[in-house]
Amino acid sequence: MSYEKNKIELEKNGYSVLADLYSDIEISQIIACIENAEQSGNSFMKTKDLFAIRQLIKNVPELTDLLFNKKLTELISDLSESEYFLTKAIYFDKPSESNWFVAYHQDLSISVDQKTELENYTNWTFKKGQYGVQPPIEILQDTITVRIHLDKTDKSNGALKVIPKSHMKGIVRADSKDWNIEDEYVCEVEKGGVMLMKPLTLHASNRTTNGKKRRVIHLEFNKHNLTEPLAWLEHYGIKASTQQWL
């Protein structure tokens, strides 16, 4: 199967939605794997409005083969001729009673292994035991975000809203006049489907109002090495000979 149409949409609009990347059986196996994981340490965050697991592959390594099935592996290789690797994996569970919403923003931070003063690396943070930094813009421009939906997601349970083509404007202030709320598009995704997004695409999500879950696995891929001595906190590459993820 070719994903050329999705590649064109992603480059042009900053997002694309696909159905049926995972079967119901695969989704059930992924959910069971997460539910059976030992949930302790800094990488696990639980509040009444959110349950999240950072560094998902490191903390739940059994997920690797389940997530990187044949369809996802083909999708990543179709999206770029360059060799991409995984740089971030997070699990989000927005519970059915959640009243949590996120205002329009761009994803400007990457997770790295240490803090060091480097040109064009700014806005350092340290949260839950890991460093974040805003890297040179070409790294953000070349990031591909893949959001795997473990539940059917629509406007009633927090589907992402995006401003099409906003990724073409570089880094923008959310209150700037460089974008228009009237252009907003709601990315509804079926269970087992995937949303592709550029991190510079302005996006937001509403509160849940229909009493249904919205569980998502958020993956980020890139092709750049960082300026030494800095390195990605997470780095999982593809083995071209077997198409298996390491």
| 89-122 per-position pLDDT tens digit | 999 987 666 666 788 999 999 999 999 999 999 9
Q: pLDDT of 124-152, one tens digit each?
A: 999 988 999 999 999 999 999 999 999 99
Distance CA 13, CA 4 (A): 14
Residue ranges and CATH numbers for the domains of the chain are: 4-245 (2.60.120.620)
Helical residues (DSSP H) of 101-149, grouped into ranges: 137-141
Q: Which tokens hold the place of 96? A: 């059915």
Distance CA 44, CA 226 (A): 26
Confidence of residue 37 (pLDDT cuts 50, 70, 90): confident
Distance CA 224, CA 21 (A): 26
Q: How far is residue 79 from each of residues 115, 184, 222, measured CA to CA in Å?
A: 31, 24, 11
Nearest to 143 by CA among 72, 184, 97, 84: 84
